[in-house]
Amino acid sequence: MVLVPCPNATGHEKLSAKKWLQFENIIKAKNFWKLVFKPDEFGSWPSNGLVIFLGGIFLGKSSLIECIRHWGDGFWLLLEFGMQMCLMLVSGYLLASAPIIRRFLNFLTDLFKTPSSAIAGLAVISMGLSWLNWGLGIVGGAVLARLFANKFTQLDLRLIVTVAYLGLGCTWHAGLSASAPLLIATPGHFLESEIGIINVGETIFHPFNLILTLVVLGSLTIFVWYLAQWTPLTPSQMLSQRTQLKTTQIPATANDEKSYQGSPASFFDKSYCLNGLIGIMGLIWLIITWTDGSLMVTINSINFLLLFLGIILHKNPQSVAQGAKEAITFVHGIVLQFPLYAGMFGIIKGTGLSDVLGNGFVSIASTRTLPILVYWYSGFINYFVPSGGSKWVIEAPYLVSAAQTLEVPIHKVILAYAWGDMATNLLHPFWALPLITATGLEFREILGYGIVIFSFYFCLVSMAFWFFF
């Protein structure tokens, strides 16, 4: 267990704690920041869940048993949200793995004739795909990186992969699959009793968010175009890139090569009939609910649309099943993380730690500065918890508390959180794995470009929140 110092520390906590015989290792409060940044100097430490756990005890004024109770009570709170995020990834993957989409991506690649136009086009496409759906951005980005690398050997492969990753770092949480904005627009979400339902017109489709998205897309496109001019490759480097690409494989496309013979079930496995019937039924339902005014833009409605589009665009049920099977390999992180983060939410909310942390924000922020502070803070935390949906559950209680105290509109805090959450993805390998796998690179090889682009992007968005929000 880790003893976390409280704001009212007297300096004698270590002596007192030793008498309790409850701690394997006790660190003086003056060494707190060294513990945070260089924990290995003090031995092996548990996960961040236990740090929050004891923070709830000391700062939230709850007993150990009470913290355990709150942790267990919150553990299964996010089952629905976790399933929604799994479906978001699977539906995006289904779209990206459909043969017609792969052909469309090939068509887009053929539109660009020069290396400079190619890198600019790749930036626009990758950010656009991620704005539509982050799962589509992950898989589509990996496919595009490979296609552009094979065609434009004059371009630095490291730059190509970084640019293909831009969508996950710069646009996805401002788009149609944005976890936090869609969650609070969905009836029954975990904060509904406190903030109600906030529709996407106040978040995703808010003029500030749309304009900032366009500014980021345009500015980064120009920026990476200049980067391509500054980093030409030598002939030996181009040869090395081609050799490397030959030794790696692009992520598999869902296919229907396997043959079935002799039964009606086999016929339907290879036939488009079921795909067309089920897909059209789904789209008709969407049209009916939209025309009668009952359709809302929520996580469920977006997932519904993307899922049935994916079914329609695949050739047969076998192809859909293969695409879903490939997508499932990417959802293990969501399945494991969400219950643990839900437990953290239970501790933060149940122990009163949310009020303590919220008051901390209130003490250093004002109505004017809270959005930009949330943007910076969310980006910092994202480096350690790279999951936009589950991290929102952890941060939301005290960020909402601070916003209500300072009378800052909740939608401003949500947008600040969303933009901060995705910013540091450019510095983190978690969502880049399909990209680097498809091209044979290691994340450290693209980190240099990631840092350069992140620095430009971070300053641009910070100015937007400071001067215009």
Give the tens place of pLDDT for each residue, 384-415: 777 777 788 888 888 998 999 999 999 999 99
**Percent of the chain beyond pLDDT 90?**
25
**Which of 243, 138, 203 shows the shortest CA–CA distance to 414?**
203
Quick one: average pLDDT of 217-225?
95
pLDDT exceeds 60 at position 56: no
| pLDDT tens-digit map of 142-172 | 888 888 888 888 888 889 999 999 999 899 9
Q: What's the whole-number mean pLDDT along residues 254-279?
A: 66
Given a cut of 90, whether residue 372 has pLDDT beyond it is: yes
Query: Can you give the pLDDT at residue 412?
Result: 94
- Tokens in use for 114? 């020069």
pLDDT digits (tens, 9 = 90+) for 72-131: 888 887 788 788 888 888 888 888 888 888 888 889 888 998 888 999 999 999 999 999
Residue 57 has pLDDT above 80, yes or no: no
Q: Establish if 48 belongs to a structural domain.
A: no
Q: Is the pLDDT of residue 371 over 90?
A: yes
* pLDDT, mean of residues 237-253: 55
Average pLDDT score over residue span 315-319: 86
Residue-wise pLDDT tens digits, 2-20:
444 444 344 444 555 554 5
Question: What distance in Å separates the CA atoms of residue 112 and residue 199, rounded to the nearest whole number?
Answer: 38
Mean of the pLDDT values across residues 184-211?
A: 91
33 within some domain: no
**Position 46 in a domain:** no
Cβ contacts of residue 447 below 8 Å, gap of 6+? 427
Average pLDDT value for the chain: 79
Q: Check residue 206 and give its pLDDT.
A: 95
In a domain, 45, yes or no: no
Where is average pLDDT lowest: 174-183, 216-225, 322-331, 447-456? 322-331
Predicted pLDDT at 54: 44
| Among 28-42, 166-180, 342-356, 387-401, the range of highest mean pLDDT | 166-180
Label residue 62 left, alpha or beta by phi (over 0 means left) and psi (-120 to 50 means alpha): beta
Supply the angle between the helices 134-151 and 79-97 in degrees, to the nearest 10: 30
Confirm whether 12 is domain-assigned.
no
Domain holding 254, by residue range, is: 77-469
Query: With 70 as the cut, is the pLDDT of residue 189 above it?
Result: yes
Which ranges of 4-98 does DSSP label H, i.e. alpha helix?
Answer: 13-20, 32-37, 48-59, 64-74, 79-97
Whether residue 312 lies inside any domain: the answer is yes
- Asked if residue 122 belongs to a domain, the reply is yes
Higher pLDDT, 61 or 212: 212
State the average pLDDT over residues 59-72: 72
Asked if pLDDT for residue 442 goes beyond 50, the answer is yes
Q: Are 345 and 77 in contact (CB under 8 A)?
A: yes
- Contact status, residue 32 vs residue 9, Cβ threshold 8 Å: no
pLDDT of residue 174: 94
pLDDT digits (tens, 9 = 90+) for 277-309: 888 898 898 889 888 877 777 888 888 888 898
CA 17 – CA 162 distance, rounded (Å): 49
**pLDDT for residue 317 is more than 90:** no
What pLDDT is attached to residue 408? 93
CA distance 36 to 348: 20
Number of domains making up the chain: 1
CA torsion angle 251 166 385 46 (round to 10): 70
pLDDT digits (tens, 9 = 90+) for 37-53: 565 566 655 444 444 44
- Region 208-228: mean pLDDT is 95
Number of H helices, E strands in the chain: 25, 0
Q: Is the CA virtual torsion 199, 384, 405, 460 positive or negative?
A: negative
Max mean pLDDT among 244-258, 279-293, 400-414, 435-449 falls in: 400-414
Once rounded to an integer, what is the mean pLDDT over residues 355-364?
A: 79
Phi, psi of 334 (to 5 degrees): -65, -45
Q: Does some domain include residue 69?
A: no
Banded model confidence at residue 261, pLDDT cuts 50, 70, 90: low
As a whole number, mean pLDDT of residues 254-277 equals 64
Q: What is the reported pLDDT for 6?
A: 43
